[in-house]
Amino acid sequence: MKTVRRRYGLSAALTGAFVLVLGSASQAAAATSYPIAPGYQVNVRSGPGTNYSIVRVLQPGARVSITCQTTGTKETGPYGTSNVWDNIGSGHYISDVYVYTGSDGYVAPRCA
């Protein structure tokens, strides 16, 4: 009976550790956010370009989570010139030149 308990105890411990690791990875991915350039209000648009309507405005100091990235209108901003647009929610896009990602390239998957 002690052998069964030890096997069960080990199995439960391994299962708990596995769930803890998966939970931590998911939480870390979900928690990744990037700051908007200091002092800038950023227009959030319904698509990846300045020809799309403004759906809201991000205030200075805002942070965003990037779902995916795509190409669109070329913009110049505090972090350079780029045609990369960040999807920050369903039908919500901002130019990547206003987001400090620490990279000149893509930091999220390409939007489908």
20, 67: one domain: no
15, 66: one domain: no
Containing 45, the helix (H) or strand (E) segment is strand 42-45
* Residue range(s) defining the domain that contains residue 24: 1-31
8, 56: one domain: no
110 found inside a domain:
no
Using left for φ > 0, alpha for ψ between -120 and 50, and beta otherwise, residue 16 falls in: alpha
94, 39: one domain: yes
Task: Please answer whether residues 97 and 72 qualify as being in contact, where contact means their C-beta atoms are separated by less than 8 angstroms.
Answer: no
The pair phi, psi for residue 73, each rounded to 5°, is -60, 135
* pLDDT for 23: 41
Domain count, the chain: 2
82, 68: one domain: yes
- d(CA 108, CA 96) in angstroms, rounded, equals 11
Locate 69 and state its tokens. Answer: 């990235």
pTM of the model: 0.73
Which pLDDT tens digit goes with each residue over 20-57?
333 433 334 445 899 999 999 999 999 999 999 999 99
15 found inside a domain:
yes
